[in-house]
Structure 1
Amino acid sequence: MIFSLLGCQKSNEKRFSQEKFLFGTYIQMIIYSDNEKQANEIMKKAFSEIERIDNKFNSKNKNSIIYSLNESDKKIVKIDSEGKYIFDEVRKMYEVTEKVYDITVGPLLDLWGFGKEERKNVPSELEIKEVLKNIDFSKVEIIDDNLIVNGKETIDTGSFLKGYALEKAKEILINNGVKNGFISSVSSIVTIGEKIDGSPWKIGLQDPNNQEKRLGVVEIKNKSMGVSGDYQTYIEIDGKRYHHIMNKFTGYPIADKKMVAVICDSGFMADIYSTSFFGMKDNKILEFCEKNNVDVFIVKSDNSIIKTKNFNLK
């Protein structure tokens, strides 16, 4: 796990938790309540919201509209206001990053062996060149109530949808009276308020060079965190690791960063930012964070650290 909750709570309310396997990973939910039955019902509602989003939009889920879009010949599906909001936000980061953040990168991930078939050798330049022809988010557009792909491109929701789902689940908890709690997955975490005793949530951040160790502890209140790292998902070819965060222009894994951790108000945006920043230039990242009230902590490939002034690692 990327995150570990540190410390204990002191309150008359009891701690209740549930865990469910969604989005290809275990998602853990913890809230505090003086009513066990009510607490479990609330968490069940929140997990149902995560499952709804998984079934509706996850590109790996055969029930979703995005899976249908990717598999169809016409490359067009109906989309509602929720879908429009999601893909409008994705487009904003595509433009902010000058096309670096691109959710049509799926064929490149498949080529490298992050899809169904395992890769035993590094893709050839010719293979990469052919795949790059079909990576271009500019060919994805929304017209009226339709999501359209004007080419052979496919959409991969892996870089943002889980964060969006956790954020929506957080809204369910809050709307049902939860004042203190958190939801976490492998690379995303959202918090509600603070700990019962008024202190911040303490989140352990993994060392990208040794996942058995922590770089330190981050304290957050009512914030969200997203982490992207070269150690999270990778393959090994001839003893060398190749991670899944790709440079869409070269066709190879991005080489200058090991980890990007982002803190902001939204779990949805934290997921988008952590992936986007992996491919952006350092000065552009810091400039964006300063303008948008976002904090970031970056471990470079040479183990040097770049961070915003308010990202405090203890």
Structure 2
Amino acid sequence: MKLKNNIFKIFIFIILGVLVGCGQTKEKRFSQERFLFGTYIQMIVYSENESKANDAMEKAFKEIERIDNKYNSKNENSIIYKLNKSKNKEIDLDEEGIYIFKEIEKMYKVTDGVYDITIGPLLDLWGFGTEERTEVPTLNELKEVMKKIDFSKVEIRSNKFIINGEEKIDTGSFLKGYALEKAKQVLITNNIKSGFISSVSSIVTIGTKSDGTPWRVGVQDPKNPENRLGVVEIQNRAMGVSGDYQTYIEIKGKKYHHIMNKFTGYPIEDKKMVVVICDSGFMADIYSTSFFGMSDDKILEFCEKNNVEVLIVKKDDSLLKTKNFKI
């Protein structure tokens, strides 16, 4: 079995797809990048002052690190890692933690349980953790693991976060988007009026480019990720992307991607990619994962009610999108 993650390739592609320019303004373009959350994160800001621009980006990266250290289920220092390893399965949450997991709880209910952050044991069984597999999981293995996937056993009572079972929390589907959204707020607080943060599958923007034109992002073709399906223009909004080509394993020459159907135990097969544009990087991450497992009708209905733009590449490479999604 081979585990493949196209992080670096995708990162380069998306960043090259961002067409920037400063026109005749006095502001200059500054950028930094760091390796956090297991991927490259790049910030681009426009400012008249290099020192202030770099100071703002430094503070924004520190905010991303703070969230990684506090909540990332794969970070041994985080409260979620400790929750997953503890015997009593209970921790105290502050105001931020309550907000995060209340939003997760809402989406779990909206999707009728499709979006479930206790999916970790299933990912581990397939070999997306540390243990490699040479065979597809058996039905018995899947049945046993699926008994441990149920967000309804998670309870948020006052400031208590309680797991009433063997479930474990996996933050991979939402925390990076949340971290980027918080980093965006740090940049805004530090007087950045034009900015762009990308972590491959999650993008947030502040305003437009300094010349007043929208940020332009290249969207990959899931059939051939080296190619571009098109270009999307964004201003002051966020984008989340989930695709079957991003992270996958190979078992006996067949690819199995990491976006799982918790009811069957197998990767979801009717979609290749979901691209979401909305007001929040946090929600864009949640939506792109959630929509992968939802019916087309329910997705379009939800998007219409919640000012969300979506593009879906189906299994047969046909496209489904909301009217307001321009590519």
Structure 2 partner of 1:22: 36
Contact 1:6 1:204 in 2 (8 A): no
Matched position secondary structure for 2:83: helix
- Aligned residue for 1:222? 236
Give the equivalent residue in structure 1 for 2:109: 95
Distance (whole Å) between structure 2 residues aligned to residue 59 and residue 7 of structure 1: 35
Tell me the secondary structure at the aligned position of residue 189 of structure 1: strand
Distance 1:118 1:259 in 2: 25
Matching residue of 1:49: 63
Q: Which residue is 1:284 aligned to?
A: 298
Greater RCO (CA < 8 Å, at least 6 residues apart): 2
2:172 and 2:136 mapped to 1: Cα distance? 23
* TM-score between the two structures when normalised by the length of structure 1: 0.98
- The whole-number CA distance in structure 2 between the counterparts of 1:311 and 1:6 is 19
Deviations 1:54-92 (A, max 9, x none): 000000000100000000011011111100000000011
> Counterpart of 1:29 in 2: which secondary structure?
strand
Match of 1:126 in 2: 140
Output one character per residue of 1:177-202: Cα deviation in whole Å (capped at 9) or x when no partner: 00101000020000000011111111
Question: Amino acid of the residue matched to residue 116 of structure 2?
Answer: D
Amino acid at match of 1:117: E
TM-score where L is the length of structure 2: 0.95
Tell me whether 1:294 sits opposite 2:308 in the alignment.
yes
Q: Is the 8 A contact 1:261 1:298 kept in 2?
A: yes
Q: Which residue of 1 aligns with 2:128?
A: 114
Query: Does residue 254 of structure 2 align to residue 259 of structure 1?
Result: no
What do residues 122-144 of structure 1 show as CA deviations (whole Å, max 9, x unaligned)?
Answer: 00000000000000000111112
Quick one: distance in 1 between partners of 2:20 and 2:103?
35
The 1-side partners of 2:311 and 2:22 are apart by 27
Matched residue SS, 1:6: coil
Matches within 5 A, 1:173-252: 173-252=187-266
Matches of 1:143 and 1:93 in 2, distance apart?
18
Q: Distance in 1 between matches of 2:20 and 2:55?
A: 26
After superposing the two structures, state which structure 1 stretch, 29-38 or 176-185, moved more: 29-38
The correspondence for 1:139, drawn from 147, 153, 158, is 153
Alignment partner, residue 5 of structure 1 = 18
What is the CA–CA distance in structure 1 between the aligned matches of 2:211 and 2:223, rounded to whole Å? 34
Q: Considering only aligned residues, what root-mean-square deviation do their CA atoms show, in Å? A: 0.8
Is the contact made by 2:21 and 2:210 (CA closer than 8 Å) also made in structure 1? no
Structure 1 residue 203, shift from structure 2 partner:
0.6
SS in 2 for 1:153: coil
Cα offset, 1:7, TM superposition:
4.1
Q: Deviations over 1:205-257 (max 9, x none)?
A: 00101111100000111010000000000000111100000000000000000
Once the 2 structures are TM-superposed, how far is the Cα of residue 37 of structure 1 from its aligned partner?
1.2
The one-letter amino acid of 2:267's match is P
Question: Could you tell me whether the CA contact under 8 Å between 2:20 and 2:209 is conserved in 1?
Answer: no
1:48 partner SS: helix
Question: Quick one: which amino acid aligns to residue 6 of structure 1?
Answer: L
**C-alpha distance in 1, partners of 2:91/2:217?**
40
Contact map agreement 2:116 2:151 (CA 8 A) in 1: yes
| Distance in 2 of aligned mates of 1:126 and 1:74 | 28
Distance 2:89 2:304 in 1: 38
1:211 and 1:168 mapped to 2: Cα distance? Answer: 29
1:104 aligns with 118
Structure 1 spans left out of the alignment, 5+ residues: none
- The 8 Å contact of residues 164 and 268 in structure 1, kept in 2 or not, is answered as yes
Whether the 8 Å contact between 1:167 and 1:190 is mirrored in structure 2 is yes
The percent identity for this pair of structures is: 72
Name whichever of 116-125 and 101-110 sits farther off. 116-125
Quick one: which of 308, 319, 325 aligns to 1:305?
319
Match of 2:286 in 1: 272
Report whether the alignment pairs 1:151 with 2:151: no
CA contact (8 A) 2:180 2:204 kept: yes
Q: Measure the CA separation in 1 of the matches of 2:71 and 2:148.
A: 21
How many residue pairs get aligned? The number is 313
Measure, in 2, the Cα distance between the counterparts of 1:146 and 1:120. 40
Deviation at 1:8, TM superposition (A): 2.6
Letter in 2 for 1:74: N
